[in-house]
Chain A
Amino acid sequence: MNILHWIYGVLSFLGHDIGYALAYIIESIILLIFVSVMLIFMIYLFRKYMARVQQRIGPNRVGKFGSLQLIADALKLMGKEIIFPKERDDLPYKVAPYIVFFGLILAFAFLPYGNLSIFGNLTITYSDVSIIFIFAILAIMPIGEVLAGVGSHNKYALMGALRSVAKDVSFEVPMMLSVLAIVMMASARTSTSLSLESIVTTEILPYGILEPIGLFVFFIAMIARASYAPFDMGESDSELVSGYSTEYTGMRFALFYIGLFGSIFLGSLLIALLYIGGFNGPFSSQVGFIWLIVKGLILVLISFTIWLSMPRIRIDRLVNAGWKYLLPISFINLVLAGVLTLGLGW
């Protein structure tokens, strides 16, 4: 029973075909609204949290405690004049922000969200291979960044895109390897071990306890993927002005900006699901969703703290860190996971 069937149950008087079609559309809209609300909340949270860390007040003029600030900002960005660089490569320049943004939103559709009282299971799309789906979709985002960098016809943007890709490539492999370790361990207990949902539901102990090395590698790789300090190579705002988003204004810029926070949120949810038990917790059959969001937000706050207290690492050191340190560590982790699975039967 997931949310799709729940909506279909309400619409079943329309017949099978129309009912399901409508249910899919409504489901997509619910997903979009959920993700947008969460991201807007996260940006607000970031600004307030950043202000607390930096001994400032943060937004406090629009709405109670500045809660409507983000809406005001969005309206401002929409009202801005859109400036196109003269020698742009038109199509890549224009589609790049959408690729980044919608690639991200799509990844949220495959996450298992757990149960929430009468709604039952909130998972949007159930798939036996959801891990593969999610990481395949995440691999689309760098393409958007490259298109933005190349299409802008700007040296800063190009260098930002190159840095961004170098970073993504060097952290993709350790990240996948540490996920693979979990899939291996889960395969001892479930036949659909590539599904995030069954990984979470069949776990005995959170995988973060069983393989802390994997958690460490995945967390670092996720920081790099989400691209914030100390790995904010795509932006590098003190060196490359604003990296691949240098030439963007208005809503297209906002899509990149939201994409950054979306990656942080997605990464936090993935870590919560894979390593710290996801929606498992007391009363998880009723409030599993709340558990997931709470764990995710705690991870988000940890990410923000790292972001705010770190300078940017140099690109060559970053790539070294990916290939020379994280990759061997994640191989060791993989071996350890094999030993745990086969030898001890965890």
Chain B
Amino acid sequence: MNDQWIELNIGPQHPSMHGVLRLKAKLDGEIIRELEPVIGYLHRNAEKLCEMGFYCDNLVYFDRMDYVGAMNMEVGYLEAAEKILNVPPPDRAKWIRVIIAELSRIAAHLVWAGAYGLDLGMLTPFFYCFAEREKILTIFTEACGSRQETNYMSIGGVYQDFNDKIIQEIKDFLETFPKRLEEIYNLYVKNDVFLSRTKGIGILSKEVAISYGVTGPMLRASGVEYDIRRAEPYLFYDKVNFEIPISHKGDNLARFLVRFEEMRQSLRIIKQGLEKLPEGPYFNPKAKKSMMIRLRGDGEYYARTESSKGEFGVYIVADGGVKPYRVRVRSPTFKNLSILPVLSKDVMLADMIAISGSIDLVFGEIDR
């Protein structure tokens, strides 16, 4: 610690800390010399609470983890829980989950895209992104009556079948969204000031990314082609065509471009999902309403899925009871956040904000 350095507490109440991150920074003028993230301000004991609820009840805690893309969290939990309980969902429910999860991924990336503009001091794209996200949330409302903490999926299927109206809404969205996405994209990448803030800033090399356990768009922006949807397909991701966008630059701009390309790929997946959506039951009869709380499971299972932030793992240990013995979550954002002190060593304060924004932090998931 140098005498000349200023110790600055950034957060937990700070406009660009995306919730409640606290950073203990040591500044040499405008340059950050040391940085220590402090987390835990949004800790709600979700893992412990899961031990006290029935398997079907625990879904609500997962909704509240990555609250901007809740459907992907539900998929992650159900992948594990359904294996433990041995109630596989029917095909229609699986396809519905694929469609909804990808919509949710787009919604999560849109929040990120808007908030990243705010981090850099750009007001307008935020509203463009949220106007588009609103359309997705309308689809969610139609499907399950809730916007953000959806609680849509349940053990053995989904809560409600897709009706014609929802399918029409999704088709409308698929038609209008690509154009709007390009508009938002151009608003960013055709702006020289934006490029000067992102190009070559916060470069994350392949080796460092792997050694810190970074996953998701951040890892792919560093040049590693690793996506659980392709590496270890769950649901029906092995039956749809999509590309995994990667970039070898590893800087803020690469992460930005990878996320935008992911949204375009998600649109492709949704389109194929709608085409392949079969008729049939949307619910496993073994998990009918009154039966649901009587489901018993044994053994242990670790399911990993690709959430909008990265590899989301759920580990469940069951002891034969109606409640799980232990639930443990591998949070992708927690691992991704651990890279922040490395990336923001000896960079300017403004760049640190740009880097922390590019990580896509959601605190519900880090603190759980």
In the complex, whether A66 has a CB less than 8 A from a CB of chain B is no
CA distance A58 to B262 in the complex (A): 33
Tell me whether A239 and B197 are in contact in the complex, defined as CB-CB below 8 angstroms, given that A309-B122, A309-B187 are known contacts. Answer: no
In the complex, whether A180 has a CB less than 8 A from a CB of chain B is no
Contact B123 A54 (CB under 8 A): yes
Main secondary structure of the interface of A (DSSP, over half): loop
CA distance A310 to B124 in the complex (A): 9
Main secondary structure of the interface of B (DSSP, over half): helix
Contact A309 B350 (CB under 8 A): no
A230 partner residues in chain B, CB cutoff 8 A: 121, 193
Tell me whether A313 and B16 are in contact in the complex, defined as CB-CB below 8 angstroms, given that A55-B131, A229-B121 are known contacts. Answer: no
Q: Give a binary string over A307-332; 1 marks a CB under 8 Å from any B CB, 0 the rest.
A: 01111111111000000000000000
Contact B348 A314 (CB under 8 A): yes
In the complex, whether B118 has a CB less than 8 A from a CB of chain A is yes
In the complex, whether A280 has a CB less than 8 A from a CB of chain B is no
Contact A238 B123 (CB under 8 A): no
In the complex, whether B30 has a CB less than 8 A from a CB of chain A is yes
In the complex, whether A236 has a CB less than 8 A from a CB of chain B is yes
Q: Please tell me the number of chain A residues within 8 Å of chain B, measured between CB atoms.
A: 26
Write the nearest CB–CB distance from B184 to chain A, whole angstroms.
12
Contact A55 B120 (CB under 8 A): no
Contact A239 B349 (CB under 8 A): yes
| Total A-B residue contacts, Cβ distance less than 8 Å | 77
CA distance A159 to B10 in the complex (A): 13
Write the nearest CB–CB distance from B80 to chain A, whole angstroms.
37
In the complex, whether B191 has a CB less than 8 A from a CB of chain A is yes
In the complex, whether A155 has a CB less than 8 A from a CB of chain B is yes
In the complex, whether A16 has a CB less than 8 A from a CB of chain B is no
By beta carbon, the residue of chain A nearest B194 is: A311
Write the nearest CB–CB distance from A50 to chain B, whole angstroms.
7
A237 partner residues in chain B, CB cutoff 8 A: 15, 121
Contact A236 B121 (CB under 8 A): yes
Which residues of B come within 8 Å of A, CB atoms? Answer: 6, 8, 14-16, 30, 117-124, 126-128, 131, 187, 191, 193-194, 196-197, 348-351, 353
Which residues of A come within 8 Å of B, CB atoms? Answer: 50, 53-56, 155-156, 159, 229-230, 232, 236-239, 241, 308-317
List 9 contacting pairs A-B, 8 Å CB cutoff, sorted by A: A54-B128, A156-B8, A229-B121, A239-B353, A241-B15, A311-B120, A312-B120, A314-B350, A315-B350
